[in-house]
Amino acid sequence: MNYVKFGDDLELSQVIVGCMRAKDAGMEGERMLRFVEECLDLGIDSFDHAPVYGGYACEKLFGDAVLRKKPELRRKMKIVTKTGIVLPGTEGNQVIYYKSTKKEIIKELEESLEKLGTDYVDLLLVHRPDPLADPAETADALETVVKEGKALHIGVSNFMPSQITMLQSYLSIPLVTNQMELSVKNVDNFFNGVLDDALTRRMPLMAWSPLGGGSVFSGEDGQSVRLRKVLAEIAQDHGTTMDGVMYAWLFVHPVRIAAITGTMNIERVRTAADARELSLSYDEWYRILAASRGFDVP
């Protein structure tokens, strides 16, 4: 397994296990523990969480099945979680909203630590940019949790370059990553300044939904049909699968992208890990890009 360095002293496996679907997949008790141990055996040591996943249930499933059962596994893994999304009904609210106040950030992180069964997370991300956030207050909260040792590093998720610049200007410690939607199905962030900004900052990215939500496998829209044809051809040439090619397509980028899997199936996680060994040519990479966009580059 390859590892990606975020900041000065945080390394995450380039394949990160996303735990968003743990509840829906029935990942409880021994089943969850066995899955986590199998991931660690593959060299995948990083697990991505958020309080809202599974309607506030997934972090506790992980904590109950893994870290409260085998606390010694904590030193073998890196835990990422997020803060700042409030689901309907949580505070008597009728709609979902983003909230990046100091009180909310600290409260959510403390609740996450309790659910996960750990004293700290390796990386805390602001989940979504909150248009009502006071950046000085958000920065103060992030610096407070780092100073207290509850989060070792901080970053953001779904932030555009100007939003990162704005928040970083209030911080004395670095934002070490931006978690964005990146896949063969969604290439917008390759061309709207997000990757350019990350390269300028020497900031590796984390990709959520790296398989584009799975629609490429069965979708009948033009983009899915085009991609399926090209991906199948390239996969056959390399003796691998379409999802392996989709992961490899992200891994080839020089910004260093860590891909967050969305599966609780260990064999599909293994495919993502094996994709690190798949080398795509320039021609293959651009064929996939052309299939995604529906046109060749000029």
Query: Could you give the residue numbers annotated as active site?
Result: 53
Q: Read off the pLDDT of residues 98-142 as tens digits, 9 standing for 90 and up.
A: 999 999 999 999 999 999 999 999 999 999 999 999 999 999 999
Q: Read off the pLDDT of residues 276-289 as tens digits, 9 standing for 90 and up.
A: 999 999 999 999 99
Total domain count for the chain? 1
Confidence of residue 177 (pLDDT cuts 50, 70, 90): very high
**Positive/negative CA dihedral, 13, 18, 23, 26:** negative
- Residue 113 to residue 297: CA distance in whole angstroms: 47
Q: Tokens 């490429």, residue? A: 216
Type of residue found at 298: P
Interior angle at CA 159, CA 79 and CA 215, nearest 5: 75
Q: Is 23 a member of any domain?
A: yes
Q: Is 298 a member of any domain?
A: no
Q: Tokens 């990386």, residue? A: 123
Residue 162 has pLDDT above 80, yes or no: yes
Residue 23 has pLDDT above 80, yes or no: yes
Confidence of residue 153 (pLDDT cuts 50, 70, 90): very high
Type of residue found at 212: G
Q: Is 189 a member of any domain?
A: yes
The pLDDT value given to residue 1 = 76
Q: Read off the pLDDT of residues 46-102 as tens digits, 9 standing for 90 and up.
A: 999 999 999 999 999 999 999 999 999 999 999 999 999 999 999 999 999 999 999
What contacts 64, CB < 8 A, 6 or more positions away?
Answer: 28, 29, 117
Q: Is 112 a member of any domain?
A: yes
Q: Is 30 a member of any domain?
A: yes
DSSP state of 107: H
CATH number of the domain enclosing 186? 3.20.20.100
Q: Read off the pLDDT of residues 227-257 as tens digits, 9 standing for 90 and up.
A: 999 999 999 999 999 999 999 999 999 999 9
Q: CA dist 274 to 4, 58, 76, 90, 278, Å?
A: 16, 26, 21, 40, 7
**Residue 112, domain extent:** 3-293
